[in-house]
Amino acid sequence: MTSPAPSKANAAASGPADKEAHKPSNFLRQIIEKDLAEGTYGSRRWGGSPGDAAHHAAGQPDPARVRLRFPPEPNGYLHVGHAKSICLNFGLARDYGGVCHLRFDDTNPEKEDTEYVNSIKDAVQWLGFGWDNKSPAGHESNLYQASDYFDFMYRAAEYLIEAGHAYVDEQTVEQMRISRGDFAHPGTDSPFRSRTPEQNLARFREMRDGLHEDGSMVLRAKIDMASPNINLRDPAIYRIRRAHHHHTGDKWCIYPMYTFAHPIEDALEQITHSLCTLEFEDQRPFYDWLLDRLCEGGLVATPHPHQYEFARLNLTYVLTSKRKLAQLVYDHKVSGWDDPRMPTIVGLRRRGYTPEALQLFAERIGVTKSDSWIDYSTLEGALRDTLDPIAPRAMAVLDPIKLVLTNWDAVMGAGKLDDCSAPVHPHHPELGKRSFKIGKEVWIERTDFEETPPKGFFRLFPGNKVRLKYGHVIECTGCSKDANGNVTEVQATLIPDTKSGTPGSDAVKVKGVITWVGVNDAVQAEVRLYERLFVEAHPDAGGKDFIENLNPNSLKVLQAVVEPSLAAAKADDKFQFERHGYFAADRVDHAAGRPVFNLAVGLKDSWGK
């Protein structure tokens, strides 16, 4: 038995190259290039950590030319949409001499799970990125959590109140909803809108001190109740919520709203380009309004960050909502977040996706300013294209039936085994060869034999000749059946002097070549075949219950036989099973002596059509 020569596919994942090949431009690259050319952010200073205007003013000129951030909420596992955002943000930072922060957006006092925090960190690093950056001041770890900024957010809220830009509103939720108006009607002022800053400050402090019920009042920005942008009609910025926060405990019973918190997080971290998905476009005026006010008050450094929106990833046959993915997990529709059918990063990884494949996918889909759907095959194509040049080849028989070479003993000698070999990779002779043995009995695919062949069938049927790949030409002579008429064994005779690679071996012409595994050195393996998790391209479109669109055939488990080189496969190793597709040794269940392979993606052209 030989193991495949080490190959790049199965070496430890290496990070993205420093020297990137020329990348196609996009609107975000153009914005960054223009800002760099014009020195938009050239005057920024960096205090070595997030902070207010004074903190950064005391620092040095920012060694990072741009700062971006990836700000997940730690409330689930990241999915392929987040992978796009990670590749985008960290990729732009890398390409333009900047840094990208990983920021846990944990301002919502929900139960955070360290499981989620850790999985997010793993996902970013596995994709080839990191938050540990070098700076002239030394090492800088740009890993942050937004709840660290609660004190500053509170201070910013008090500042807005004092400057006459915010007020405490005691209307009911329903009153507020009605007075907000709609697209056709301007809103009307709250009766609480004309309170003095002193009154508002006193009230807000009472909110903070726990003197009022949850939901009894909110702090609102005082902007314009008649604004055509409803988000500027005095949005709520702080609410009362008696909730235990996993980091700040019970210190606060008021929490900032996301739309208030997010711009502040960006500003404290000196983010230059704050990228978000298109849903936030209508929030941009408030983002700017808020940071303009805080700059006026000298609370945050100028120039403040700017928000740019790009289209989120929508992928056919795939859900990209953490909440809906969580439902699949908790309802046991899949085996867990890392089920190989899940579009989570852990699921894709277990399926056999590589960081390179996801980076290539992100590059190919690019970034645009309008929503669209990406075909699932684009994701699969990126995987195939990255695995094809590097994955070692192997033969596997997924649905085995025994083929007996009835003249073997006479032609080759009783009990004799003949050595065969094949390249580890057809385009990389330097990777060496794999070897296996052929004997009197071999396993072949059940579908490679037809007693009565349909038109155009070139594989085994009585009287037809095919080549056993890397082996000999054989001629089918018949089959045996059980009482029910099911084929239990196929018989053939070996044609002497036709072994691949020997002189004159191609004298006998055949139309079909089939893959096989010798009974003598076959390795038993579990093979898990996957199909798309949903039968509908848009499983949750129009409020449809996506559970009803689950594909009942998305997982098929087979007891297969594989060539002996695969006995040395280690968890996560990727292979091309010739004729079948790309397979990965399962990260969780694969073990020496008990191999388990996942179908990562099929070959482009299906065999034997």
Binding-site residue positions for L-glutamine: 105, 258
* Cis preceding linkage at 303, omega within 30: yes
Q: Which is nearer to Mg ion, 76 or 392 (CB)?
A: 76
Judged by CB under 5 A, which stretch of 69-77, 275-283, 296-304, 332-340 contacts Mg ion?
Answer: 69-77
Judged by beta carbon distances under 5 to 8 A according to partner kind, the member of Mg ion, ligand ATP, none in contact with residue 321 is: ligand ATP
Q: CB 157 → ligand ATP: shortest distance, Å?
A: 22
**Nearest residue to 72 (alpha-carbon basis) of 134, 13, 131, 132:** 131
- Residues 6 or more apart whose CB falls under 8 angstroms from that of 346 comprise 77, 119, 122, 123, 337, 338
- Tell me if 258 contacts Mg ion by CB under 5 A: no
**Nearest residue to 522 (alpha-carbon basis) of 560, 549, 491:** 560
Q: CB 534 → ligand ATP: shortest distance, Å?
A: 16
Q: CB 45 → Mg ion: shortest distance, Å?
A: 31
Q: Which is nearer to ligand ATP, 207 or 276 (CB)?
A: 276
Strands (DSSP E) found in 483-537: 487-494, 512-514, 516-518, 523-530
User: How many chain residues are in contact with Mg ion, going by CB under 5 A?
Assistant: 1
Q: Is 453 exposed, middle or buried (0-12, 13-18, 19+ CB in 10 A)?
A: middle
Judged by beta carbon distances under 5 to 8 A according to partner kind, the member of ligand ATP, Mg ion, none in contact with residue 306 is: none
* 446 catalytically annotated: no
Q: Which is nearer to ligand ATP, 104 or 150 (CB)?
A: 104
Question: From the candidates 8, 29, 45, 73, which is the catalytic residue?
Answer: 73
- Can you tell me whether residue 577 is helix, strand or coil? strand
- 99-104, strands of its sheet edge to edge: 67-70, 99-104, 143-145
**Nearest residue to 578 (alpha-carbon basis) of 530, 524, 522, 515:** 515
Question: From the candidates 220, 322, 437, 440, which is the catalytic residue?
Answer: 322
Q: CB 76 → ligand ATP: shortest distance, Å?
A: 6
Q: How far apart are CA 142 and CA 519, in angstroms?
A: 56
- Tell me if 399 contacts Mg ion by CB under 5 A: no
Q: Which is nearer to ligand ATP, 266 or 578 (CB)?
A: 266
Q: CB 73 → Mg ion: shortest distance, Å?
A: 5
Tokens of 169: 């509103």
Q: How far apart are CA 18 and CA 373, in angstroms?
A: 31
Judged by CB under 5 A, which stretch of 65-73, 126-134, 282-290, 562-570 contacts Mg ion?
Answer: 65-73
DSSP string, 182-211: -SSS-----TTTT--HHHHHHHHHHHHTT-
Among 31, 49, 73, 205, binds Mg ion (CB under 5 A): 73
Angle of the 355-365 helix axis to the 80-95 helix axis, nearest 10: 80
- Tell me if 278 contacts Mg ion by CB under 5 A: no
Applying CB under 6 A, which residues contact ligand ATP?
A: 71-73, 81-82, 84-85, 276-277, 312-313, 320-322
DSSP state of 4: P
Q: Which is nearer to ligand ATP, 230 or 326 (CB)?
A: 326
Question: From the candidates 65, 312, 324, 433, which is the catalytic residue?
Answer: 312
Judged by beta carbon distances under 5 to 8 A according to partner kind, the member of Mg ion, ligand ATP, none in contact with residue 472 is: none
* 322 catalytically annotated: yes
List 433's β-bridge partners, or say none.
423
Which positions touch Mg ion (CB under 5 A)?
A: 73
Residues annotated as catalytic are 73, 312, 322
